[in-house]
Amino acid sequence: MSKTKVLTFVQKYTMIIALVLVTAFFAWRTNGKLLLPQNLTNIIAQNAYVFVLATGMLLCILTGGNIDLSVGSVVCFVGTVGAVLLRNDLNMWLVVLVMLLVGLLIGAWQAFWIAYVHVPPFITTLSGMMVFRGLSNVVLQGKTVSVTNEKFVQLFGGGAKCYVPDVFHGANINILCIVVGALCCVLYLFFTIRSRAVRKKAGLEVDSAAKTIITAVIIVAVVMFFTYRLAQYKGLPMALIWVALVVLIYTYITGKTTVGRYLYAIGGNEVATRLSGINTKSIYFFAYANMGLLSGLAGILTIARLTSAQPTYGQNYEMDAIGSCFIGGASAYGGVGTVPGVIIGALLMGVINIGMSIMGVDANYQKVVKGLVLLAAVIFDVVSKKKSS
């Protein structure tokens, strides 16, 4: 294999390679505890909000490296509204709808100033970060509001009973989890083969059969190992279902829709995109309004997992989301990045968090490591851009 092909391969799969190496390192340092079924479940449950927020943050970053600093405060405020409404015994589905609507309205409010008044996203969302953190404190008056609605907690992933019931009633293992994992693998193989056949028929370049087979075998093995370990504990956590829905929907939006193509076009060259007749203002508005909507969903998942709302919830959530995007391959200049890449970045952060926690590493040193990992990812992006230019 030529040097160019090796370099291309490494650049394409850098984060996957890093995830495998980091996981192997912590599995070694923790004597295999990292890969215990309960710890794998914790990686999902504890980082569900990161997966959701990072997916929305990617759309903002695609527009030119822009970010949303307010998401942590919006999560807190939306969670506050939801907890107060649930305490007053409102219908659970009505509360969920209100929480999503509040998140969407906040996103639309900020999107208006960014898209149509041209206030820089950094300033607009920095203002939002302070405003909605303050409003959360005003509503809660510095107190904690408990979430006691069991149906809400179970459906959105908080507590010990928040798992998809095993309809096959496995004795020592969750059979439904294994079936879902196998079905995911079958669908992946089907779409991989179909996509390769379509590209080949159209005369487009495709990977060699050997490379395609090796990649497919590795992915199928990882998925089946992961689902098998989950099946050994309690099966599929509800948080994973919500994350999977978000990932599937936004992978489709960014890869198969006109709006998705416009997001990448703006990040590539906003002036050229605007001159070609595309309404760039509406695309900016969509990106930030959507960020508010997903912040609302993250607020739901947060108070369901923690079974309460507090004025301190959501702190540094924006940093986790932004870090996951850049670590997952999104460009600091915009126009580059994928939802699967962002999820890999979020998983990498989650593995580092829980790995260091199991090892007993001080929380301050954990922040140092996460900061250095983020810096390394951005440096890699900047250096790669310079070499390619």
Cβ atoms of 239 and 305 closer than 8 Å: yes
For the chain, give every residue range classified as CATH 1.10.3470. 16-162+238-383
Give me the DSSP letters along 325-336. HHHTT--TTSS-
Q: Report the alpha-carbon distance of residue 281 to residue 285 in Å, rounded.
A: 6
3-state DSSP helix/strand/coil % of the chain, to nearest 5: 75, 0, 25
Cα-Cα-Cα-Cα dihedral sign, residues 41, 47, 52, 54: negative
Average pLDDT over residues 168-190: 92
Residue 5: predicted pLDDT:
62
For residue 154, give the H/E element and its range.
Answer: helix 150-155
Residue 163 three-state SS: strand
Residue 313: predicted pLDDT:
94
Q: What is the pLDDT of residues 320-365, one digit of tens each?
A: 999 999 988 888 888 889 999 999 999 988 999 899 999 998 888 8
| Apex 245 CA angle, 167 and 158, nearest 5 | 65
Choice between 1 and 234, residue whose per-residue pLDDT is larger: 234
DSSP class of 171: S
Cβ atoms of 228 and 181 closer than 8 Å: yes
Residue 116, pLDDT > 80, answer: yes
Residue 190: predicted pLDDT:
94
Q: What percent of the chain has pLDDT over 70?
A: 94
Tokens 């809660």 appear where? 140
Q: Is CATH 1.10.760 what the domain over 16-162+238-383 is classified as, yes or no?
A: no
Residue 333: predicted pLDDT:
86
For residue 233, what are the contacts with CB-CB under 8 A and spacing of at least 6?
37, 38, 40, 41, 174
Average pLDDT over residues 53-81: 95
Residue 89: predicted pLDDT:
87
Residue 252: predicted pLDDT:
94
Residue 365: predicted pLDDT:
87
Q: Which has the closest alpha carbon to 191: 252, 247, 246?
A: 252
Choice between 150 and 78, residue whose per-residue pLDDT is larger: 78
Residue 145 three-state SS: strand
- Strand residues in the chain grouped as ranges (E): 145-146, 308-309
Rg (CA), the chain: 21
Phi-psi sector, 307: left (phi>0), alpha (psi -120 to 50), beta: left
Q: What is the pLDDT of residues 278-322, one digit of tens each?
A: 999 999 999 999 999 999 999 999 999 999 999 999 998 999 999
Residue 363: predicted pLDDT:
84
Q: Which has the closest alpha carbon to 73: 121, 127, 111?
A: 127
Residue 12: predicted pLDDT:
67
Q: Does the predicted TM-score (pTM) go above 0.85?
A: yes
Q: Which has the closest alpha carbon to 46: 338, 304, 366?
A: 304
Tokens 């015994």 appear where? 89
Residue 76 three-state SS: helix
11: confidence class by pLDDT, cuts 50, 70, 90:
low
Average pLDDT over residues 97-123: 96
Residue 117: predicted pLDDT:
95
Which whole-number Å values give the CA distances from 358 to 31, 32, 71, 163, 362, in the listed order? 10, 11, 28, 24, 11
Write 178-186 long-range contacts (CB < 8 A, 24+). Answer: 178/227, 178/228, 178/231, 180/227, 180/236, 181/223, 181/224, 181/226, 181/227, 181/228, 181/231, 182/224, 182/227, 184/223, 184/227, 185/219, 185/220, 185/223, 185/224
Residue 2, pLDDT > 70, answer: no
Give me the DSSP letters along 248-310. HHHHHHHHHSHHHHHHHHHHH-HHHHHHTT--HHHHHHHHHHHHHHHHHHHHHHHHHHHTEE-
Residue 10: predicted pLDDT:
63
Cβ atoms of 112 and 289 closer than 8 Å: no
Residue 153: predicted pLDDT:
92
Facing residues of 309 across strands?
A: 145
Q: Give the pair of three-digit tokens for residue 55.
A: 């997916």
**What's the whole-number average pLDDT of the chain?**
90
